[in-house]
Amino acid sequence: MEFQFPSVRDEREAAAKGIFSIYGPRNQPPYDIDIQYFKNDKLIRRYEFPEEQISSVSGKTALGRVEVATKNGVCNETMAYVSDFFQPALLVYSFSDDILGEALSAENEYIVSTDILNNKNNWNDQNESRKMALDGYFQSLGSRETRCSTGVMDSSFNYYCIAEKYSAISYWNLKHPETGTNLLLTDKTYLSDPGCLKIIVAPDGNEELFIVKSSIIKVLTGNYNSQKFNFFLSSCRITDLLAKRNCTTFLCPHGKCENQAL
């Protein structure tokens, strides 16, 4: 059995009608990035991560989240950013140039222009002083007492992430310094080990936060049970979330949906 976890960006950002996903039910490499064309289900490309690119000191590696960014709707300018569950690392994959590099710390939150990350000259240059000068492009957004597994930002620059320590949705406004862990919603069942957060604009113009949760940890540890629900989709209107009002969560395991209030 293979485990597929997709991440799809807003269709306005990409002309390519495709999906990026990572396959990895096994505890050992290889891990793949697969690009599939929706109209005919054709596999456009598969990139297998070499072991040296995903090795860690602890010996544990789990690639389970991928963010896709397409520049000006041009497929060849598509970048995929892949995070690792077990180590503070980021793998950057270019549709035209394959894998570019890995780096970044998970201790604090930083912001950097993708133009800096995508410029290979910045990282291939042997001039150490040039590399040190690049540190100035990484701006600190602050830090929390707990790490986050996944995050997303709304149109008001509110950043939402899943605080692993509390199994909760944490947020802060990026226009202001981070002063601590602000928890909006806590639920150990549906907010534990989520796979993806995504902001979607509803037909009425309101933004909604969608949470995708799967049993990837159970798959990685060999405790996967195909007879139980292993995929959940939850949503909450941003205005309700910020006001800490009850959110109606739509749980859709195996295509059957039921409403439940958190």
Percentage with pLDDT > 90 across the chain: 1
- pLDDT tens digits for 148-198? 767 788 999 888 887 777 778 888 887 777 766 688 877 776 776 666 788
| pLDDT beyond 60 at 41 | yes
Cα 15 from chain centroid (whole Å): 21
| Beta-carbon contacts of residue 69 (< 8 Å; ≥ 6 apart) | 9, 13, 78, 79, 80, 81, 114
Rg (the chain; Cα; Å): 19
Give this prediction's pTM.
0.49
Mean pLDDT over the full length of the chain: 68
Per-domain boundaries in the chain:
31-143, 144-261
Structure confidence by residue, pLDDT tens digits, 195-241? 678 898 988 889 988 887 776 666 666 677 777 777 777 788 888 88
Kindly report, residue by residue over 46-105, the tens digit of the pLDDT: 878 777 766 665 566 667 667 777 777 777 677 777 777 666 677 777 776 544 433 333
DSSP 86-102: SSS-EEEEETTTEEEEE
